[in-house]
Amino acid sequence: MAIFDLIRKQDHQAVVFCSDPETGLRAIIAIHDTSLGPALGGCRMKSYATEQDALVDVLNLSRAMTYKASAAGLNLGGGKSVVMLDHPSQKTPALLKAFAERIALLKGTYIGAGDVGSNTDDLKIMHQYCPHIVGLSKEDGGLGDSAILTSLGVFMGLKAAVAERLGQESMQGIRVAVQGAGKVGYHLVGHLLEAGCHVLISDPNDAAVQHIKDAYPAVEMCPGEALYEKEVDIFSPNAIGGLLTQEVARFLKAKIVAGGANNPLGDELVGTILHQRNILYAPDFVINAGGLMMVAAEIQHVTFEQAEAQVRGIYDKTREVFEYAKSHQMLPWNAAQAIAMHRIENARKQKAQGSAARETAVSR
C-alpha cells in the first residue's frame, strides 16, 4: 500500500520522516490526533525487516495512543516515533542527539517518552537537546521508570476482568500465563504473586525469564508457544504486538485475555473469535495506560503518589468499558474506542465553535 494511502486509512494528521547521514539516523514520527492536546508517545528504537514495517508499526501505535490518552481522561493526543536500527550498537549519543533535534523542530506538537529499545539514559541525552522529552529518571527530575505504573495499571485491568468474567474480586488462586519477561512483565508478575495468583512465564529471551525466576522462584517457566496451550484463567500478552493471531485465538485455553502489550491482536477478527469463544478481552489501550498517566503526571509536575492513585482508577475505567459493551451490544475493544472517540469528537466540536466565534468577532 502506498504511503499516503496508509496515512489516510487511519486518519493521521502528520507523519514526519527524519534522516541524518552522519549518524545513520532513520526515524519516523507519527502524529495521529491532537484534538485533546499535544501528541504524546514513546520513542521505539529497534530493527525492522523493512521500512514499510516500521511505518505500519508507528502508524498503528500512534493511533492506539490517541485512544489510550482519551480513554484515560487525559488532555493529550496520540503520537509515536520509531528509530530504525541496523544494530543495537547504532544507538549512540550522537544518533540520540540528532533524533532529539528533529523532535524539537515540531515545537511540542509531539512529546517523546520511553518505549521498546529506549531507556531513561537515552531520554536524559535527548532531553539535553529537546525539552519535549518526558519519562526521565527521578535523579533527572522525572518520576522514574514508567513500567512500574504500566504494570500496576495492567494488574488493575486484570482484576476488573476477573470480576467481570469470573464474578470474583479476589485474585487468589487465579492462573495467569504471562507472555513477555520485559520490564512490564517483571513488575506484573510481582503484583500477581502478591495477590495469590499462580503465574506461568514465557519469553524467547532466556536471560529475561531467568531474571524473573531468580526474583520470584514460585513462577512456572514455560517454553515458547507452549504457553498458548496451557489451561489458565488469564492469558496476559506483555511482549510485542500482533502475536495473538486468528489461529492462536481459536485454540487459546483461557477465559480472559488482558495484558500490557500494545495492539496484541493480529487483526480485528481476532477480537471477534475471542468473543465467540466466550473469552473476555480487556482492551489493551485501556489497561496499559498507566505509563502514559505517569509521564502525563511528569508534564503536570504532580507527584508519583498522585499518579499512582490515578492508575489504580484503571479498575473502574475497565469495568465501565465492559458495562458500555454490554449495554450497546458491542465488543469491549469497540466500546473502549467509542468512549475514547466521544471525548475527541467533543473536543473537536468545541474547537470548531471557538474558531467560528473568533471569525465572527473579526468580521464585525
- Residues noted as catalytic: 80
Phi, psi angle pair for 35, to nearest 5°: -60, -35
Distance of CA 358 to the CA centre of its chain: 37
Q: Which three cell numbers stand for residue 298?
A: 511528569
Nearest CA-CA partner of 265 in 281, 242, 286: 242
Structure letter (DSSP) for residue 238: -
Instruction: Characterise 112 by phi-psi region: left (phi > 0), alpha (psi -120 to 50), beta (else).
Output: beta
Alpha helices for the chain (secondary structure H): 3-9, 51-71, 93-104, 120-127, 147-165, 183-194, 206-215, 246-251, 268-276, 284-287, 290-300, 304-312, 314-327, 332-363
Q: For strands 198-202 and 220-221, give the pairing.
A: parallel
Measured on CA atoms in the order 136, 139, 145, 146, is the torsion positive or negative?
negative
